[in-house]
């Protein structure tokens, strides 16, 4: 039966079209592997082929911008936004413009070209996740940047141009619309009910249980009630926390454990599908120019989380034209299938 389900965070409707249903195994043939041959600038020993590093973890010493690193952070060689200069905001008739100021960094997660996050030991993945947190915190100090997005493209279909394991961070001088909708939804919910919208959803998911993929004392991962895509997962801390930059070391380890479990389940169940993950966290409330009362209640109403989005179906004209998403797999079925997999 086809249903329309409403997402109270994004305020969008999703069509769960189970009449067009595909079994979880039907998605396996739709994945595509990324070409892996040839030269890789991210591999150990090729440091001169990338911009000079911003940060590198070298447990056994070594020379800056040389080999022997465990994790390396570098500027993107082809950045979406440039770090230099001011915003130079101007009106162009009815339109507005500003300079493309921001930051675009790459976190090369391991010198091992074939290593996947789902295969990393928890301790190693926690080191990587800790660097996500630390880079976020550092970029938030730049008052030109209103939002910092941590994201990963895994596989060519998901937008990755290099197979070597890496995550990207882009800082922007505006708050992205999708995040702004989440922030506004969370704020309005809190104003009416004096509770966090995300905490309420987490409590209901735990109570119902049928969409949960992973649960421990620290983190929950579940297929959202109004999932846009087959096997979409939302991963969040159970304890209320609005800014990932404020996550404790224990939170980082717990997140690494949860990410490894969930990504491992997806990898095994769907034969290493292409996917994106994105961190949605608090915007920068210390920007140079901001509206009055800009997100002043964030600490109470927002809740940072990670969205994991396997790329198993295509977005086409209907979706672009209406904002509806058509998902042929009910989130309850996706969660049940993933829970039966041992990563």
Summarised one tens digit per residue, pLDDT across range 74-120 is: 999 888 888 888 888 888 788 887 788 889 999 999 999 999 999 99
If one compares 235 and 35, the residue with the highest pLDDT of the two is 235
Average model confidence (pLDDT) across the chain: 89
Tell me which of 164, 166, 189, 280 is the catalytic residue. Answer: 166
**pLDDT for 208-223, tens place per residue?**
999 999 999 999 999 9
**pLDDT for 6-15, tens place per residue?**
778 877 676 6
Q: Flag whether pLDDT at 290 surpasses 60.
A: yes
Look at residue 2 in the predicted model and tell me its pLDDT: 58
Task: Please say whether the beta carbons of 24 and 334 come within 8 A.
Answer: yes
> What is the 3 state secondary structure string of the chain?
CEEEEEECCCCEEEEEEHHHCCCHHHHHHHCCCCCCCCCCCCCCCCHHHCCCCCEEECCCCCCCCCCCCCEEEEECCCCCCECCCCCCCEEECCEEECCCECEEEEEECCCCCCCCHHHCCHHHHHHHHHHHHHHHHHHCCCCCCCEEEEEEEECHHHCCCCCCCEEEEEEECCCCHHHHHHHHHHHHHHHHHCCCHHHHHHHHHHHHCCCEEEECCCEEEECCCCCCCCCCEEEEECCCCCCHHHCCHHHHHHHHHHHHHHHHHHHHHCCCCCEEEEEECCCCCCCCCCCCCCCCCHHHHCCCEEEEEECCCCCCHHHHHHCCEEECCCHHHHHHHHHCCCC
**d(C-alpha 106, C-alpha 251), whole Å:** 23
Look at residue 97 in the predicted model and tell me its pLDDT: 79
Q: What is the mean pLDDT of residues 232-259?
A: 98
β 305-310/275-280 pair status: antiparallel
Look at residue 10 in the predicted model and tell me its pLDDT: 76
Q: Flag whether pLDDT at 189 surpasses 90.
A: yes
**What tokens does 172 get?**
């922007």
Domains and CATH numbers, the chain: 2-339 (3.30.428.10)
CA distances from 320 to 177, 219, 311, 324, 339 (A): 16, 33, 16, 8, 32
Look at residue 19 in the predicted model and tell me its pLDDT: 60
Q: What is the mean pLDDT of residues 282-308?
A: 86
What phi, psi does 101 have (nearest 5°)? -90, 135
pTM assigned to the model: 0.90
**What tokens does 205 get?**
């998911």
**d(C-alpha 266, C-alpha 28), whole Å:** 11
Look at residue 141 in the predicted model and tell me its pLDDT: 95
β 325-327/12-17 pair status: parallel
If one compares 286 and 242, the residue with the highest pLDDT of the two is 242
**pLDDT for 26-84, tens place per residue?**
666 444 444 445 789 999 999 999 999 999 999 777 788 999 999 999 999 888 888 88
Q: Flag whether pLDDT at 280 surpasses 80.
A: yes
Q: Tell me the pLDDT band of 343, cut-offs 50, 70 and 90.
A: confident
* DSSP-assigned beta bridge partners for residue 2: 17
Q: Flag whether pLDDT at 17 surpasses 80.
A: no
Task: Please say whether the beta carbons of 253 and 245 come within 8 A.
Answer: no
Look at residue 177 in the predicted model and tell me its pLDDT: 86
Q: State percent of the chain over pLDDT 70.
A: 90
**d(C-alpha 265, C-alpha 261), whole Å:** 6
| Catalytic annotation present for 166 | yes
Q: What is the mean pLDDT of residues 274-283?
A: 96
CA-wise closest residue to 241 among 231, 255, 225: 255
Q: Flag whether pLDDT at 277 surpasses 90.
A: yes
């Amino acid at each position: 039966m086809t249903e329309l389900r409403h997402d109270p965070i994004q305020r969008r409707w999703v069509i769960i079209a189970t009449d067009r249903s595909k079994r979880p195994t039907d998605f396996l043939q739709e994945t595509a592997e990324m070409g892996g041959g040839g030269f890789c600038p991210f591999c150990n020993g090729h440091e001169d082929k990338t911009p000079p590093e911003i940060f590198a973890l070298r447990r056994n010493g070594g020379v800056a911008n040389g080999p022997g690193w465990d994790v390396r952070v570098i500027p993107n060689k082809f950045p979406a936004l440039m770090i230099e200069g001011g915003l130079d905001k101007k009106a162009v008739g009815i339109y507005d413009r500003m300079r493309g100021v921001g930051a675009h960094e790459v976190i090369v997660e391991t010198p091992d070209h074939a290593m996947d996050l789902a295969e990393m030991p928890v301790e190693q993945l926690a080191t990587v996740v800790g660097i996500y947190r630390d880079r976020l915190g550092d970029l938030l100090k730049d008052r030109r940047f209103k939002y910092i997005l941590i994201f990963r493209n895994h596989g060519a279909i998901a937008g990755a141009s290099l197979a070597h394991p890496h995550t990207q961070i882009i800082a922007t001088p505006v708050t992205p619309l999708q995040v702004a909708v989440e922030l506004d939804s969370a704020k309005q919910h809190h104003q009416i009910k004096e509770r966090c919208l995300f905490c309420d959803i987490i409590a209901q998911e735990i109570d119902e249980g049928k969409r949960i993929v992973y649960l421990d004392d620290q983190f929950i991962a579940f297929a959202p009630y109004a999932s846009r895509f087959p096997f979409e997962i939302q991963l969040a801390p159970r304890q209320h926390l609005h800014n990932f930059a404020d996550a404790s070391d224990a939170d980082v380890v717990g997140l690494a454990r949860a990410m490894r479990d969930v990504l491992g389940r997806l990898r095994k169940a769907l034969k290493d599908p292409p996917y994106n993950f994105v961190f949605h966290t608090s915007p920068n409330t210390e920007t140079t120019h901001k509206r009055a009362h800009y997100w002043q209640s964030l600490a109470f109403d927002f809740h940072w989380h990670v969205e994991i989005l396997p790329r198993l179906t295509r977005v086409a004209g209907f979706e672009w034209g209406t904002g509806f998403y058509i998902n042929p797999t009910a989130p309850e079925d996706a969660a049940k299938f993933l829970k039966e997999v041992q990563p």
